[in-house]
A = this chain, B = another copy of it.
């Protein structure tokens, strides 16, 4: 049993602190990705706020609640039967989280709060209490993790074992040195995790510069064999049709099975 799912990862221009503008650009990207047929659309981490905050006060000023009326700008443009995953700074009262919203046409399925915080994030955000989450959506079971979460191999593994059909991964990867000809290291980790658990992964990264931080431009769609199915086109859209196999069947005929061959009693 397998199904095709058209997906898109998109990296619109994000301007630090320009929430209204970022929402408008994210809405336009969702609308365009939908026109291209995508039914799962992933935008970067903190896409509504930008990333490089000077301090907690600035992060708080850019944060919005789950019930903020501005969300309608996004949910209005998501077609029936499609899902968008969008990173934002979540105002949860006393706490601010680095979250990803799982949105549908006119609605909201859930919000995942990043649980492995990178760099100075721990001085800006509270830490989530789930290592990725899986959401039942109109397009299937969508796993969601954010950036550094996925560098812990336990996270994508856990989501796959929990039955995720596909992983939506909003990220902001600061550019790091790498040998010529190599993929970004975080891409290699996502490729490996995808192959280990047959978990297609849709990565939306930033590109360009923000307050002196250069982003990796690592937006990519990775298929369930761990290979790159799409990179961004000139407009910044990585679009692919993924084959989603039954998440309960990780067999490799004739002898093997990625999950049944595990030895959890030994780990």
Contacts and interface: CB of A to CB of B under 8 A. Distances in A.
Interface of A: 115-120, 122, 129-131, 148, 151-155, 157-158, 178-179, 181-182, 185, 188-189, 191-193, 195-196, 225-228, 255-256, 261-264, 266-267
A228 B192 contact: no
Contacts of A152: 196, 261-263
A222 to B, nearest CB: 11
**How many copies of this chain does one complex carry?**
2
A118 B256 contact: yes
A181 to B, nearest CB: 8
Contacts of A267: 131, 154-155, 158
A179 B228 contact: yes
Contacts of A188: 188, 191-192, 195, 226
Contacts of A264: 154
A74 to B, nearest CB: 28
Nearest to A153: B153
Contacts of A263: 115-116, 131, 152
A167 to B, nearest CB: 14
